Amino acid sequence: MSSTPTTPPISEAKVEDGKIEKEEDAPAHAVSVTPKKKEPPPETPESIRLRLFVILSFWAIVLFLGLPIWWRTTAIYRAKLPLDQMMDWADGRACRPVFPLRISIEADSLQDHEAQHLLRTTQHALDDLNDFSAHHLRLQLSPPANASITVVGLPTGGSDEEVALVIRLLPGTESKADLQSYSPILDVHYTPNQIPSSSSSSSFLATYIANTLREMFAEEQAMISYLLSTSSAPPERSPKALIPEVAESLAKWTTRSIKYSRTYHLTFSLFTPSATPSSWDIEAALEEHMKPLLQSFSSISNFTIDTQVQLYANPGVNGNVLKKEDLSGFINAAEWPLSPSIGGAPTVNFIIYVGDMEVEGGGKSWLIPQWGGVVIQSDISDLRPAMLIFSNQLMSLLGAPESGSLPLRLMTLVRVRSAGLLLKASGTMGSLARLTLALPSISIPKSVADGVYTTIEHLRKACDGLGGTEGLENAIIAEEAAEKAFFEKSMVGQVYFPDEHKIAVYLPLLGPVAVPLVMGVLKEVKAWRKRRRVSR
C-alpha cells in the first residue's frame, strides 16, 4: 500500500508525545517512501524488542495461563473407564461361558472297577455325542459313603461341586430310565448281562445312559447355544447353526420370557362385564395351587401377590368368537386398572374374564408375551383349572424349559438365566464403552466407573461359577450394576448442551480480545519481514 502513495498526506499538525518525536527514522521505511511523504523517525532496536516482549508476554499469558484455566474450568469430568476390558467382555473375549454339569452315578450294585469302567465308557460316549463345547456333561462316581443320601431340591451353593443330576443304577429285569418328578434323580434299570466287561471299549448300557442324558439336556443345550449365537461372541465359539424350527421356537421363547428380576409381582384380576360376580375365592385357590410352585422358585426369584375384582369391565374387542388378531386388543388398557405395581419388581398379570367367549379354533386361554396370561371362564366357583393354566403360563413367562421334571427345569432355568444375564451385562458394558467413545461431550461421573468395575468383578466371578446358583447371584449383581451405570442420570443431561450455546457465551469476550492480539502478531511479522528484506 505504501508503495503507491499518490495523495499528499493530510497536513494537519498534531501535537504528539515528546517521546515519539524523539524516535529516529527507521531504516525500514527509507526504501518505499515517496519524496512527498514525511517519514517517522526510525525505531530503536530497544523499542522493537520491547514491543516484541509485550506481544510475547500477552500471548504467553493467554496460552499458558488463560487456556489451561479455561480448559480446566469448562472441562467435563470423565472418569477413566477400562474400555478395553469392557469391549473384551462385549465381544466375548474375556469369558468363555462353560457349563460343566456334574452328574453323579450311584452304582452300589456294581463292583468298583466295573463302575469305573462304566463311567469311562459312558463319558466317552457322551463326549462323542457332544458337539457343543460350552455345555459339557461330566460324570463322576458318588462316593459310597454318600450313596444313601438323596439330593432333594436344588443343590445349594455351599458345596464346591454342585451335582446337577444323580443317576442311580439299579439292577432290574429290563433296561429303562425313570426320571423322578420331584428330585433330580434318574433311575436307570439294567439287566445283569448289560454290565460291561472290562475289555470292551463300549457297551450297550453306556450308550444307553449317554443317549438318555443327551436327550434330557438337549433343550437346555439348544437354549444356551441360541443365547450365545444371538450375542456378539466370536464365531468360532458359537455352535453350529441350529435347525430352523428349533431356532424359531427359541426366538419365541426369548420374546416370551420376562426380563429376570429377583422379585416378581403377580397380580390376579377378575374382570366381569356386569356387576356379578363381585367376589371370588382367590385366597384358597392361590394357597392351594400357586404357593407350592412359587415356593420351589424361591432360590431363583421371590414373588409378591395381589388380587383384585373389577366390575363393569368391557374388553377391547367384542363378539363371542375371538380371532387371533383380536387377542392383542382384548386387554382394554385404557379402562382396566392394570397399572404395574409400585416398587421395582416387574408385574405379571393373570386375568380371569367372566364370559363365554371362545378363541377361534378352540381354547379359552392365551399368553401375552412378557406381560401375563388371560383365561376366559364363565363359572368361577372352581378356580383350579384357571390356576393350573396360570402356573403353566408363569413357568413359560419366566423362561423355564418345557420338558423335564420340575427340579431339572428349575436348574436349567438357573443356568440359562445366568448365561442370559452374563451376556446382557457384557453387552451393556460394550454399549457403554461405545457410547463413551461416540459422545466425547458427555460427562462420566465416578459412580459410573465404580459401577463398571463392580460389573466386571462380578462378571468374572459369574463366568467362573457358571452353572450354579452362585453364578446366577453374581450375574444378577453384574447385570444390575451394569444397568445402573448405563442409565446414570447425570450422563444424559450433558448430551444436549449445544455448541452454539457455548459460542454465544464465549464469543462476545473472546472475539474482541483475540482481534488485537492476532493483529499485533501479524503486524510484527510483517515489520520483521520488511526489516529483513532491507537488511539483506
Partner 1 sequence: MRRLLSLLLSVGFLALFSSATSSDYHEQLLLRPLHPSLLLASFNFQSNTSLASFEQQNFRYFPRSLGQILQHANTRELHLRFSLGRWDAESWGARPWGGAREGGTGVELWAWVEAETDEEADGRWLTLTNALSGLFCASLNFIDSTRTTRPVMSFQPTGDHSNSTLSDLHLLHGTLPREVVCTENLTPFLKLLPCKGKAGISSLLDGHKLFDASWQSMSIDVRPICTPGSDDCQLQITQTIDMVLDIQRSKRPRDNPIPRPIPEEELKCDTSKPYHSGDTCFPLDAASQEEDWSLSQIFGHSLKGTCSLAQDGADPVCVNVPHARHVYASEGALEYKDASGYSRCFKIAPDKDFELVLPQQEISEKTPLEQPLLYAERSFIGYGQEHGGVQAILTNPSPTKAVDFVYMESLPWFMKLYLHTLRAKINGLDEDIIKEMYYRPALDRKRGTQLEVRIVIPANSTVVLTYDFEKAILRYTEYPPDANRGFDIAPAVITIGDVAIRTTSLLLPLPTPDFSMPYNVIILTSTVMALSFGFVFNLLVRRFVAVDEADQWDFRSVRVKLRRF
In the complex, least distance from residue 311 CB atom to partner 1, rounded to whole angstroms = 6
The reply on whether position 261 binds partner 1 by CB under 8 A is no
Q: Which helix (DSSP H) or strand (DSSP E) does residue 456 occupy?
A: helix 446-464
Contact between 509 and partner 1 by CB under 8 A: the answer reads yes
30, 31, 54, 63: residue in contact with partner 1 (rule CB under 8 A): 54
3-state secondary structure of 298: coil
333 binds partner 1 (CB under 8 A): no
299 near partner 1, judged by CB under 8 A: no
| Residue 309 lies near partner 1 (rule: CB under 8 A) | yes
Chain centroid to Cα 335, Å, comes to 34
Grid coordinates 475289555 are at which residue? 199
Number of amino acids touching partner 1 (CB under 8 A): 62
- Which CB sits closer to partner 1, 14 or 489? 14
Q: What CA–CA distance (Å, rounded) separates 407 from 469?
A: 13
**What are the phi and psi torsion angles at 487 (to 5°)?**
-95, 30
Query: Per the structure block, which three cell numbers stand in for 275?
Result: 356387576
By CB under 8 A, residue 307 contacts partner 1? yes
* Residue among 17 and 245 whose Cβ is closer to partner 1: 17
The yes or no reply on residue 219 touching partner 1 (CB under 8 A) is no
Specify the amino acid at residue 316. Answer: G
By beta-carbon proximity to partner 1, the closer residue of 199 and 295 is 295
311 touches partner 1 (CB under 8 A): yes
CB contact at 8 A, 115 and 209 = no
- Produce one character per residue of 489-512: b if its CB has 16 or more CB atoms within 10 Å, e if not: eebeeeeeeeeeeeeeeeeeeeee
Min dist. Cβ of residue 297 to partner 1 (A) = 19
Q: Which residues of 356-388 are buried (b: 16+ CB within 10 A; e: fewer)?
A: ebebeeeebbbbbeebbbbbbbeebeebeebbe
- Does residue number 513 form part of the binding site for partner 1 (CB under 8 A)? yes
Beta-ladder partners of 104: 140, 166
Quote the cell numbers at residue 71: 480448559
List helix spans (H) across 262-403: 282-285, 291-296, 327-330, 384-398
Q: Minimum CB separation from partner 1 for residue 265, in Å?
A: 9
**Per rule CB under 8 A, is residue 12 in the interface with partner 1?**
yes
* Shorter beta-carbon distance to partner 1: residue 17 or 174: 17
- Applying CB under 8 A, among 341, 396, 443, 447 the residue interacting with partner 1 is 341
Nearest CB to partner 1, comparing residues 82 and 316: 316
Q: Three-class SS of residue 142?
A: coil
CB of 535 to partner 1, least distance (A): 19
For residue 307, what is the enclosing H or E element? strand 302-310
Binding mask of the shown chain, residues 267 to 286, with x at each position contacting partner 1 by CB under 8 A? x-------xx-xx--xx---
Residue 188: other Cβ atoms inside 10 A = 21
From residue 382 to residue 421, the character string flagging contacts with partner 1 as x (rule: CB under 8 A) and all else as - is ----------------------------------------
In angstroms, the CA 98 to CA 245 distance is 25
42 binds partner 1 (CB under 8 A): no
Q: Does 39 sit near partner 1 (CB under 8 A)? A: yes
Instruction: Provide the minimum distance between the beta carbon of 383 and partner 1 in the complex, in angstroms, as a whole number.
Output: 13
Residue 376 to residue 363: CA distance in whole angstroms: 9
337 binds partner 1 (CB under 8 A): yes
17 binds partner 1 (CB under 8 A): yes
Please provide residue 262's backbone torsions phi and psi, each rounded to the nearest 5 degrees. -70, -35
Out of 127, 248, 335, 358, point to the residue binding partner 1 (CB under 8 A). Answer: 335
500 touches partner 1 by CB under 8 A: no
Give the 3-state DSSP-derived string for 354-379, with helices as H, strands as E and coil as C. ECCCEECCCCCEEEECCCEEEEEECC
Per-residue cell: 41: 523517525
CB nearer partner 1, residue 13 or residue 438: 13
Q: Which three cell numbers stand for residue 324?
A: 387371533
Binding site for partner 1 (CB under 8 A): 1-2, 4-7, 9-14, 16-17, 19-21, 23, 37-40, 43, 47, 51, 54-55, 58, 267, 275-276, 278-279, 282-283, 304-313, 335, 337, 339, 341-343, 504-505, 508-509, 511-513, 515-517, 520
